[in-house]
Amino acid sequence: MTSKILIVDDERNIRRALKRLINDIDVEIFEAGNGHEALECVDNHPDIKVVISDQRMPKMGGAELFERLAVQHESIKRILITGFTDLESIRSTINDGSVYRLILKPWDDDELLLSVVQAINDFELADENKKLHDKILTINKDLEKKVDQKTRVLQVNIKSLEMSRRILDELPVAIYCINEEGVIIESNEMSKTVLGCNGAIDGLNYHNVFSDSMIQAVETNSKNNILVDEQKWMPMLSSLNGIEGKILIMTRAM
């Protein structure tokens, strides 16, 4: 993409001389005869990358122009051309960073051309960094939204599991979920009552926990009532939804 450059000088011959010099590189050049015209040009072409201005001009000097550009268009690189005797008057402009590069009269063509090339490169590098920074911010915001959404879903799922757990424990039946390896992966409070134990049975193999009649019910789908502490329990075998394994449900027999 062709870079846009603005040359500001109240002398037409100086503008033409600078234009001939800078035309050696791939640029689109605009001209302004004073600071006010320069500001208007930049407002109309906000993609200008470099402004080259003389210091001594009527109405608005280069230093004042650059101070205003630094506030309104801070990304633009600003090259000031001035005589040695003007250095003291533009000290504050140099110190506050309003000037990217200072070129003393009479300028050296190679130095000036190199300064313009470096200014364009620095502008484009800063612009790429800004775009990358903005992209990272956008990605981070999207990630934060996704994390927030997943966190809310997780919280809902946790509450749902807690509610399911409470409901399961309140049921007046004993429930044993057994995976294909024979390990009890889920049970409720009533299941412990049937077995006459207080400790956790999840993670244990049902062969080490169940009575012989309960094992028979699991392995043969026997419907015979099971007697536990003089209470008869009726077994019912079901399959786990989408998982290899079985569910043994025992209800009190009338």
* Domains of the chain, start order: 3-129 (3.40.50.2300), 171-252 (3.30.450.20)
Region of 59 (left: φ > 0; alpha: ψ -120 to 50; beta: rest) is: left
Helices of type H across 32-74: 35-44, 62-72
Handedness of CA 33, 39, 40, 45 (dihedral sign): positive
pLDDT score, position 207: 93
pLDDT score, position 243: 66
Each residue's pLDDT, cut to its tens digit, for the chain (254 residues) gives 789 999 999 999 999 999 999 988 889 999 999 999 999 999 999 999 999 999 889 889 898 999 999 999 999 999 999 887 777 778 877 777 788 998 988 999 999 999 999 999 999 999 999 999 999 999 999 999 999 899 999 898 889 888 988 888 888 999 999 999 999 999 998 998 888 887 889 999 999 999 999 999 999 988 899 888 788 899 999 886 656 789 999 998 87
Total Cβ atoms within 10 A of residue 187: 23
